[in-house]
Amino acid sequence: MVRKITKWKLLFPYLPDYRRSLILADFERELGKPHQTLKNYVTQLINENILRVEGEGKHRKYRLNTESSLIFHYLSVSEKMRTDEFLGRDTLVKRLYEKILPFMSHTRFMIFGSYAVERECEDIDLLIMGKLTERLEKVLDEFGNVYIPVHKTHVKDKEELDRRFKKELHKKHIILNGTDYFVRLFGDMYGELGLV
């Protein structure tokens, strides 16, 4: 299967850290595409005011333009695409997603840690933000008994997350729902994206 590249996918390397400064070789390594292909998308994102350029010639680096009025939208779409690709590759997480889908109207879910970056793991770390009902606990426990244990971290809202834990979430995560909420959380953590 040929993996297509899009301008949204070009933002994937920024999703764990909005402050990254990348050269074309970084995009090439992380996205597995030749820099000649990627350069057109980089140029497009510069023209759309999503990326800004630092340096000249071979020393050009690309950073997110956190002052862009569209940056929040672009990051949110990129997160959703990354989740979609992850669910397409990982049948276990897709099954977990199907099990927790009925609870998503009152609760936000995010996979974090090693499983989110596709490393061998003995469990899935799951952030649960909002309601954690007995029924949801039962669903997660049953899933753990059949497939792989789910390590639950439950908070009612973002105020219960300390800065250090938020940074860890940002580094390694797959957002299962509440994408806009989490993109704002990560942007606000650094005082970036101009979001309230």
**Residue 121 burial class via C-beta count within 10 angstroms: exposed 0-12, middle 13-18, buried 19 and up:** middle
CATH 3.30.460.10 describes domain 75-189: yes
**Residue 81 burial class via C-beta count within 10 angstroms: exposed 0-12, middle 13-18, buried 19 and up:** middle
At residue 80, does pLDDT exceed 90? yes
At residue 74, does pLDDT exceed 90? yes
Higher pLDDT, 126 or 188: 126
Side by side, which strands form the sheet with 150-155?
A: 150-155, 124-130, 107-112, 173-175
At residue 159, does pLDDT exceed 80? yes
> Domain residue spans in the chain?
9-64, 75-189
87 Cβ contact list (under 8 Å, min separation 6): 93, 94, 97
- Confidence (pLDDT) at 35: 82
What is the rounded end-to-end Cα distance, in angstroms, of the chain? 41
Range with the lowest mean pLDDT among 32-36, 101-105, 140-144, 148-152? Answer: 32-36
Distance CA(139)–CA(123), nearest Å, equals 15
At residue 169, does pLDDT exceed 90? yes
CATH topology of domain 9-64: Arc Repressor Mutant, subunit A (1.10.10)
Same fold yes or no, 9-64 and 75-189: no
Assess contact for 161 and 155: CB atoms under 8 A. Answer: yes
What are the angstrom distances between the C-alpha of 94 and each of 79, 131, 185? 16, 21, 24
For residue 68, the Cα-to-chain-centroid distance in whole angstroms is: 19
What are the angstrom distances between the C-alpha of 64 and each of 4, 38, 75, 148, 150? 22, 16, 10, 37, 34
- Confidence (pLDDT) at 56: 81
- Confidence (pLDDT) at 121: 85
Range with the lowest mean pLDDT among 1-10, 92-101, 170-179? Answer: 1-10
CA atoms within 13 A on the CB side of 134: 0
Percentage of the chain exceeding pLDDT 90:
85
29 Cβ contact list (under 8 Å, min separation 6): none
Distance CA(75)–CA(24), nearest Å, equals 19
- Confidence (pLDDT) at 2: 41
**Residue 129 burial class via C-beta count within 10 angstroms: exposed 0-12, middle 13-18, buried 19 and up:** buried
Residues 84-142 have pLDDT tens digits of: 999 999 999 999 999 999 999 999 999 999 999 988 889 999 999 999 999 999 999 99
Higher pLDDT, 16 or 196: 16
